[in-house]
């Protein structure tokens, strides 16, 4: 485990983080607290959640993840951990969150944050992120941009940045970040913060794994030139990159239990790519999960690789695998597969 300084902040974070979106749905409170204890003992200091969690989003469980983490956090020295959470935006159909949510304006962001703080039993979060852009975009498995959107998205971004700046000034947020964002959106936030003298985004949390390297096409340069860090979520592509869907069918596994995620992770080109990466892993004497996590952790733009697990046993295995350092020959073999089968699960 490496602890490093996040550029542009006073935060020191672990380069492996714990994602929590299973807590309250696939993972009960007792197991979640055991996972949190184990992660902290292993040196993980970054814990990421969201107001809409757990996943899949439902009115009956919304907020349960933060509440579970909050009970645990109340027993920890607050300055020992970095707590990140997210505000849900419009356009995803979650009508049970703040009645919409209707907008990413100050009123909605303040309401969202204050509810998160109550659930988390803390008076501030270290990193507050916009979970997805308010403008319609091809994310979560979609691939085609709709050019019919004519709203002034730049003005929306300025309003969102002003709202986030207010929460920072109030002391409820230390730093701000984005999630599921594009190069255009990230640069608009950066430009607006410089022009208006407002807080600067410091992280981007996007999906990144062997089956989805679309981050490299534009956002990797943004990270390099603007000194931003990627919080890489889904580094195992919903468990596909453990290899378990190639060898057995666990009814409790996420893609079996929740078929609604199939359109993103059951595409025809995925299985051949998985088999090719599994062959590389075998060649180098590694589990497939170690190849996948070692790759994500090796990238220059990855500030932290976010692990998420249903059980403590899965988390232990994932942490062990994430510590593997891949040799250059393995990275070269990965790139050969990527050239033949680029981004089968965007």
Catalytic (active-site) positions:
53
**Secondary structure string (H, E, C) spanning the chain:** CCEEECCCCCCEEECEEEECCCECCCECHHHHHHHHHHHHHCCCCEEECCCCCCCCCCCCCCCHHHHHHHHHHCCCCHHHCEEEEEECCCCCCCCCCCCCCCCCCHHHHHHHHHHHHHHHCCCCEEEEEECCCCCCCCCCCCCCCCCCCCCCHHHHHHHHHHHHHHHHHCCCEEEEEEECCCHHHHHHHHHHHHHHCCCCEEEEEEECECCECHHHHCHHHHHHHHCCEEEEECCCCCCHHHCHHHHCCCCCCHHHHCHHHHHHHCCCCHHHHHHHHHHHHHHCCCCHHHHHHHHHHHCCCEEEEEECCCCHHHHHHHHHHHCCCCCHHHHHHHHHHHHHCCCCCC
């Amino acid at each position: 485990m490496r602890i490093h300084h996040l550029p542009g902040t006073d935060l020191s974070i672990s380069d492996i983080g714990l994602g929590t979106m299973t807590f309250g749905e696939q993972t009960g409170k007792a197991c979640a607290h055991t996972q949190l204890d184990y992660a902290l003992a292993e040196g993980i200091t970054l814990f990421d959640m969201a107001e809409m969690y757990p996943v899949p989003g439902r009115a009956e469980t919304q907020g349960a993840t933060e509440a579970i983490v909050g009970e645990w956090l109340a027993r920890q020295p607050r300055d020992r951990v970095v707590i990140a959470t997210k505000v849900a935006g419009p356009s995803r159909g979650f009508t049970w969150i703040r009645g919409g949510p209707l907008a990413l304006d100050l009123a909605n962001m303040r309401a969202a944050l204050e509810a998160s703080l109550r659930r988390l039993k803390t008076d501030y979060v270290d990193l507050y992120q916009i979970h997805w852009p308010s403008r319609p975009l091809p994310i979560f498995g979609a691939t085609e941009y709709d050019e019919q959107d004519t709203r002034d998205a730049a003005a929306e971004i300025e309003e969102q940045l002003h709202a986030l700046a207010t929460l920072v000034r109030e002391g409820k947020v230390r730093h701000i970040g984005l999630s599921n964002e594009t190069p255009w959106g990230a640069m608009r936030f950066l430009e607006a913060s410089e022009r208006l003298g407002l807080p600067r985004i410091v992280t981007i949390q996007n999906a990144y794994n062997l089956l989805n390297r679309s981050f490299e096409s534009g956002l990797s340069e943004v990270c390099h030139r603007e000194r931003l860090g990627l919080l890489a979520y889904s580094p195992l592509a919903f468990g596909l990159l453990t290899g378990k869907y190639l060898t057995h069918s666990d009814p409790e596994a996420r893609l079996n239990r929740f078929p609604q995620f199939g359109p993103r992770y059951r595409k025809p080109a995925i299985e051949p790519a998985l088999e090719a990466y599994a062959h590389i892993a075998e060649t180098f004497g590694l589990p497939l999960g170690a190849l996948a996590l070692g790759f994500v952790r090796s990238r220059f733009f990855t500030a932290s690789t976010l692990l998420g697990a249903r059980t403590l046993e899965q988390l232990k295995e994932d942490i062990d695998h994430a510590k593997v350092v891949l040799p250059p020959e393995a990275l070269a073999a990965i790139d050969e597969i990527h050239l033949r089968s680029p981004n089968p699960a965007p």
